[in-house]
Chain A
Amino acid sequence: MAHIALAIRTDNLTKIYYMGWGRYQVGVRDLSLEVEEGQIFGLVGPNGSGKTTTLKLLLGLIFATSGDAEVLGEPMGSPRAKQRVGYLPEGPYFYEHLTAPELLRMYASLFGLGGRQFESRIQELLELVDMWDHREQRVANYSRGMRQRVGVAQTLINEPDLLFFDEPTAGLDPIGARDIREVILRLRGEGKTIFLCSHLLKEMEPICDNIAILDRGELVGQGGVEELLAGEEQRYRVELRSPSEEMLAGLEQVADEVVWLDDTCRALFADRQAAFEAAARADDEGGHLLAVGPDRRTLEEVFIDAVGEVAPDASDL
C-alpha cells in the first residue's frame, strides 16, 4: 500500500475552556483528523463549532486539554513546524503604521529572510494579491478587503508547505472572494497543503478535496467532497423546465420521485439507464431539458444533514 504523507494529524484533540465560576465550555472534543499533503482540506461548521479553536491549537496559540497533534511531522505549535506554515486569521489586523511592503519585510525578518534580493519577492506577492498599486498606503487606510489581501500575502512570505486560512473570503466582495479562491487553487497547484476554515459552504464546495464538519466541537462528518456529495445511495436526475402535462405524467410513471423547484421539474431515478432514456424521450418530445446526470447533493444539504438543523448563519450558506 502506498504511503500517504500527512500534513496534519490530530489524535483525540480536546480543548475545554474554563469560563469561570465552575463553568466549562467545549472548544473541540476528541477531534481526530488526517490531512494529506497537497490537498485543500475544508473544516466547516456553524459559528462557535470549534473551527478557530482547532486552528489555534494546531498553531500553539492555545493549549490542548488532552489529545495530541502533529503538523508537518512536528509537534503542534513547535518552532520547526512554524517555519513551514503560513496563517491567515479571521479578519486579520496588522500594525497600522506600516505599509504593505514594510509589513511583509517585518514578517520576513522573523523567518530570517530579507535583503535586497527579497524585495522582488515582496513585489511578486503584492502583485499576486493585487496590492502592489497600494504599496505606498499605510494599513490604517486599508479597507477590509485590502487587509485580507495583504493577510494572504503575509502567509506566503516564507514559501510555506502548509497554509491555514480562517474564513479567508468573509466580508469580501464577490470579485475579492473569487481572487482569493484563485490564489488558493494556484497554491494547491504548486503542491501546497491548504487547511481552510469557513462556514461559507458554497465557496468551499468547488475548491475542497476533503471536508470535515464540526458541530459544537465534535466531528459529525468527514470525507472526500465527491463522496459526501454523492451520498450513500447514488441516484440520477433529469431536470426539465416547465414540462407539458403529458410529459410530466410520463416522467411520474418511470421516475422514483419527482420534485418541483420553482418552474423546474426534477425527476430522480435509482437506475442510470432509466434516467437517460427518460431524458432522451423528453428531448424528442420537444421538452426543455436542463440537465441529466448523477444526482449530487449540495454541500449545504450534506451539512444540514450532519448538523441536524439549519446553521445559525444560514443566510451566509
Chain B
Amino acid sequence: MRAIYRVARATYYEGWRRRFLNGILVFAILIIGSSWVFTYLQPGAELKMLIDVGLGSIRFFGMLIAVFLGTRLIPDEIEKRTIYTLLSKPVTRMQFLLGKYFGGLATVISNVALMGATFYVVFLVKAPQFAQPTEEGSPVYSMEFMYENIAKAIVLNFVELAVVMAIAVVASVVFSWILAAIVSFFVYFVGQMSEFFGHLADPETTANPVARMILLTIYRVLPHFENFDVRESILTDIPVIWPYMGKVAAMGALYVAVVLALGYLFFNQREV
C-alpha cells in the first residue's frame, strides 16, 4: 500500500504540472462558468440549456482530461526514464500500475470537482430565475430534487471517469499512446450507445447470427456509459435513487478491476 500511495502521490502532483491539461481545465471552467449565457439561445427552455451545457461540459472535458492524462502516465515514465529508479526499488509492477492509476484518477477527480463546483455556483445563482412560476401559478420546472440530483450526477461522473481512466491507462500499456487515445475515445463514444447495440442484437432486429453475435459481444464487453448520464432525471426532477447510484458505482468498480487486472497481465510482460 505504501508503494502505491507514494507512486500515486507523485503522479498526482505531476498531473497538475501538465500545461496542456491545465489549459483544458481553464477552458472548461470558462465554458461552465458562462453556461448561463447559452440559455439565451433557447428561450423557454433555459434550465434545460443550463443543465445540458454545464453537465455536458463537465462530462466531455472530464473525459478529455482522463484520456489525455491516462494515456500519457506510463509512456511518460518510460520516455523520461523515471520508471527505472522506481522499478529498480522494491516496487512491484502491480503496485506501480495501481499507483499511476490512482494518482492519475485523483488528478482527474480534482479537475472535475473544480468544474462541478463552478457549475454548482452558476446553478445556484441562475436556476431559480429560470424556474419562476407561470401565470397559472405552477412552476415551469419542479426543483424539489434538482440540487441533490446535480450533486449525484457529478459523483456518477467521477465513477464514469474512473472507468475511462482505467481503459486509457491499460490501453497505453498495450499500444502506443496515440493509438491508446484513439482506442479510449472509441470505447467511450461507442460505450455511450451500448443500449443501442443491445437492441440491435435482438433476434427480431438482426437476423444474421454472426452479426448478432458481434453486436452482443460489443454490448457485453463495452462499458454502458449512458448509465452514468442522469440529465434526464434532473430535468424531469425524478430523484436519482441511492440503490441506482450504488448499482452503477459497483458496476463501474467491477469494470475498473477487470480492466486493471488485464492491464497488469500486459504490463508484467512489458520491457521498460
A residues lining the B interface (CB < 8 Å): 56, 59-63, 79, 82-83, 85, 87, 89, 91-98, 106-107, 109-112, 151, 154, 158, 164
Interface size range on B against A: 20 to 34
**Chain A residues whose C-beta falls within 8 Å of the C-beta of B81 in the assembled complex:** 89, 91-93
Query: Beta-carbon contacts of B1-43 to A below 8 Å, as 1s and 0s?
Result: 0110010011001100100000000000000000000000000
B13 proximity list for chain A (CB < 8 A): 95, 97-98
- Given the known interface contacts A95-B10, A95-B14, A106-B10, the answer about A111 and B90 at a Cβ–Cβ threshold of 8 Å is yes
6 A–B pairs (Cβ distance < 8 Å), ordered by A: A61-B271, A63-B269, A87-B88, A106-B6, A106-B9, A106-B10
CB distance from A37 to the nearest CB of B (A): 20
Query: A106-B6, A154-B85 known; A79 and B90 CB under 8 Å?
Result: yes
Does B84 sit within 8 A of A, measured CB to CB? yes
CB distance from B3 to the nearest CB of A (A): 5
With an 8 A cutoff between CB atoms, is B86 at the interface? yes
B271 in contact with A62 (CB, 8 Å): yes
Query: Do A92 and B85 touch across chains, with their CB atoms under 8 A apart?
Result: yes
Please measure, in the bound complex, the distance between the C-alpha atom of A158 and the C-alpha atom of B89, giving whole angstroms: 9
Tell me which residues across on chain A come within 8 A of B88, comparing CB atoms: 59-61, 82, 85, 87, 164
13 additional A-B residue pairs with CB within 8 Å, beyond A61-B87, A111-B89: A59-B88, A61-B272, A63-B271, A89-B81, A91-B81, A94-B85, A95-B13, A96-B14, A98-B10, A109-B6, A110-B3, A110-B91, A112-B2
Most chain A CB atoms below 10 A, which of B2, B13, B85: B85
Contacts of B70-107 to chain A: CB distance below 8 A: 80-82, 84-92
Which residues of A lie under 8 Å from residue B10 when comparing CB positions? 95, 98, 106
Given A107-B89, A110-B91, CB of A97 within 8 Å of CB of B14: yes
Specify which chain A residues have a CB less than 8 angstroms from the CB of B6 in the assembled complex.
106, 109-110
Residues in B with CB closer than 8 Å to A110 are: 2-3, 6, 86, 89-91
A107 vs B6: C-alpha distance when bound (angstroms): 9
**Smallest CB–CB gap between A101 and chain B, Å?**
14
- In the assembled complex, the Cα of A93 lies from the Cα of B82 at a distance in Å of 5
Instruction: Please indicate the chain A residues that have their CB under 8 angstroms from the CB of B80 in the complex.
Output: 93
> Which residues of chain B come closer than 8 Å to A94, judged between CB atoms?
82, 85
CA distance A209 to B17 in the complex (A): 45
Contact A96 B17 (CB under 8 A): yes
Q: Which residue of B lies closest to A154 (CB)?
A: B85
Known: A82-B90, A109-B2, A110-B3. A61 touches B84 (CB 8 A): yes
**What residues of B have a CB within 8 angstroms of the CB of A63 in the complex?**
269, 271
Contacts of B91 in A (CB 8 A): 110
- Choose one: B85, B86, B92; the contact of A79 (CB below 8 Å): B92
Interface centre among A92, A96, A97, A110, by most chain B C-beta atoms within 10 angstroms, is A110
A244 → B minimal CB distance (Å): 59
Q: Which residues does chain A contribute within 8 Å of B86, judged by CB atoms?
A: 110
Chain A residue contacts of B87, Cβ below 8 A:
59-61
CB distance from A87 to the nearest CB of B (A): 4
Q: Closest Cβ of chain B: how far from A286's Cβ, in Å?
A: 60
Instruction: Give min CB distance, B28 to chain A, whole Å.
Output: 23
